[in-house]
Amino acid sequence: MFQYLKKKLGFGADESVPEAQTQATAQTPTATPDPITVATPTAVEPTRKSWMDKLRNGLRKTGSSIAQVFTGTQIDDALYEELEAALLMADAGVRATEFLLEDLKRRVKEARATEPQAVRGLLIEALSDLLAPLEKPLAVGNATPTVMMVVGVNGAGKTTSIGKLTRHLAENEQKVLLAAADTFRAAAREQLGAWADRTSVEIVAQEGGDPSAVTFDAVTAGRARGCDVVIADTAGRLPTQLHLMEELKKIKRVIGKAQVGAPHEVLLVVDGNTGQNALSQVKAFDDALGLTGLIVTKLDGTAKGGVLAAIARERAVPVYFIGVGEKLEDLQTFSAREFAQALLE
């Protein structure tokens, strides 16, 4: 799934931070090795080809409605009007749709295109360029440990996404510690614990405790044990639940007290099938927490895959991973060109 730079981090267990120091709230970070990068594999790899097939199938409901626009024989105002309607129906949003249409018309004029199918090829290029700012690899190792805080609404797939990411990190020789900061829902702790067992990583959890205290304990434990990555799973909440959003802000502040500069990643997991509501979530969580990246799940079978265009145009938070299924390999790094091709070819 992921390609890591072939570089060992060189940490052993329990050697970086003495136990007595883990309670300090402001310390000078120790020197860290060069980071490793979760990079986008090339499309020629067999596993990536299989992924592209899944992505095309997953986005078929979205792409088929757009593809129908190019079945005619003329490039005229009617084609652009139909394309506008199809993009809006795919939840690309008004701003992104207007931008794409203007950019497409410019490309058609410059290329002197005369066939609708040629216009579709130019739309792939336009969409790829629009989505390009979202394409960014996740780097691990700029800090030791790299602390990730994962947030999102109920049912978006946070815990499952964390489990998949954890497994791949562990398989690439990264020592991972999980923090079960959803302290009030037993099923969440059990689900995260199951992933921890499956991947042979450690977990910090407590029933009915304070989520901030759990994350503080996990980060300090991660430092003491020489972990490469600490991932905090938080309880799902709606952005309109202001008291719960304040709780997230508190968790973030407390993580910073456990380790200077942390959390290094604040990841929002969004359900791609919710369309424009996903964009609203990105804006709300970004305003509250300062997001560093997104994991977009459940793109399989959606008719609203155009929402990534809306995100790119209105709040370009990097998309680290996208998911098109429940299997481990169904969570993959995001490529703007691959996504545009899967959607429109």
What pLDDT score was predicted for residue 41? 44
| Domain containing residue 166 | 138-335
What pLDDT score was predicted for residue 38? 54
Q: Are residues 166 and 232 in the same domain?
A: yes
What pLDDT score was predicted for residue 45? 62
Count of structural domains, the chain? 2
The reply to whether omega before 263 is within 30° of 0 (cis) is yes
> Distance between CA 333 and CA 136 in Å, rounded?
9
Largest CA distance in the chain: 74
> Distance between CA 325 and CA 11 in Å, rounded?
34
Q: How far is CA 172 from CA 6, 10, 54, 118, 181, in A?
A: 10, 13, 24, 42, 25
Last-in-domain residue among 133, 150, 176: 133
> Distance between CA 210 and CA 189 in Å, rounded?
14
Residue ranges of the chain with pLDDT lower than 50? 1-32, 39-44
295 assigned to some structural domain: yes
Per DSSP bridges, beta strands 146-152 and 319-323 are unpaired
What pLDDT score was predicted for residue 46? 64
Q: Are residues 216 and 106 in the same domain?
A: no
Residues with Cβ within 8 Å of residue 335, at least 6 apart in sequence: 40, 43, 135
197 assigned to some structural domain: yes
89 assigned to some structural domain: yes
The CATH number that applies at residue 87 is 1.20.120.140
Model confidence pLDDT, tens digit, residues 278-294? 999 999 999 999 999 99
306 assigned to some structural domain: yes
Last-in-domain residue among 81, 114, 133: 133
What pLDDT score was predicted for residue 19? 32
108 assigned to some structural domain: yes
Q: Are residues 122 and 152 in the same domain?
A: no
> Distance between CA 151 and CA 98 in Å, rounded?
31
> Distance between CA 94 and CA 86 in Å, rounded?
12
Last-in-domain residue among 133, 156, 181: 133
7 assigned to some structural domain: no
Of the candidates 154, 153, 150, 152, the residue with the CA atom closest to the CA atom of residue 164: 150
What pLDDT score was predicted for residue 43? 43
Q: Are residues 153 and 233 in the same domain?
A: yes
What single DSSP character describes residue 274?
A: G
What pLDDT score was predicted for residue 337? 95
What is the chain's alpha carbon radius of gyration, rounded to the nearest angstrom?
Answer: 21
> Distance between CA 77 and CA 17 in Å, rounded?
66
What pLDDT score was predicted for residue 32? 47
What pLDDT score was predicted for residue 23? 35
What pLDDT score was predicted for residue 150? 97
> Distance between CA 230 and CA 77 in Å, rounded?
53
Helix axes 94-111, 307-314, angle to 10 degrees: 90
What pLDDT score was predicted for residue 80? 94
* Amino acid at site 136: K
Q: How far is CA 262 from CA 118, 232, 285, in A?
A: 48, 12, 17
Model confidence pLDDT, tens digit, residues 82-99? 999 999 999 999 999 999
303 assigned to some structural domain: yes
